[in-house]
Amino acid sequence: DAMVIQNPRYQVTQFGKPVTLSCSQTLNHNVMYWYQQKSSQAPKLLFHYYDKDFNNEADTPDNFQSRRPNTSFCFLDIRSPGLGDAAMYLCATSRVRGMGTDTQYFGPGTRLTVL
């Protein structure tokens, strides 16, 4: 089945130790998103790619970076995780349709714990 896959599902890192979360998709969608979701809160968009074009949200900290080497994969790098970065990180994809995009499809998320 076509889907959005996130690895790992659970990630534990130490304060200040770089960590990379990965997302892959078999949907061949142009747009990929990274969201941060803290407990009982709305998903907060960090950035998105339209193909190779990177779009950073104005309030996304510099500590967060992303790479999209090809259509299928997208990575979230947290250079120096702080305690406040502990959250669920959601990857989503959507297909360009007309002047916007079709529905978003979400992965299961990676829960990041920072010790």
Interface size with other proteins, residues (CB under 8 A): 24
100 contacts other proteins (rule: CB under 8 A): yes
**Would you give the end-to-end CA distance of the chain in angstroms?**
36
Q: Out of 48, 68, 76, 78, name the contact with other proteins by CB under 8 A.
A: 48
Q: Select the residue interacting with other proteins from 23, 74, 76, 90 (CB under 8 A).
A: 90
SS3 84: helix
46 neighbors 60 (Cβ within 8 angstroms): yes
> Does residue 108 bind other proteins (CB under 8 A)?
yes
Answer yes or no whether residue 104 interacts with other proteins by CB under 8 A. yes
Burial state string for 68-103 with b = 16 or more CB within 10 A and e = fewer than 16: beebbebbbebeebeeebbbbbbbbbbeeeeeebee
- Site residues (CB under 8 A) for other proteins? 4, 31, 33, 40-43, 45, 48, 50, 55, 90, 92, 94, 99-101, 103-109
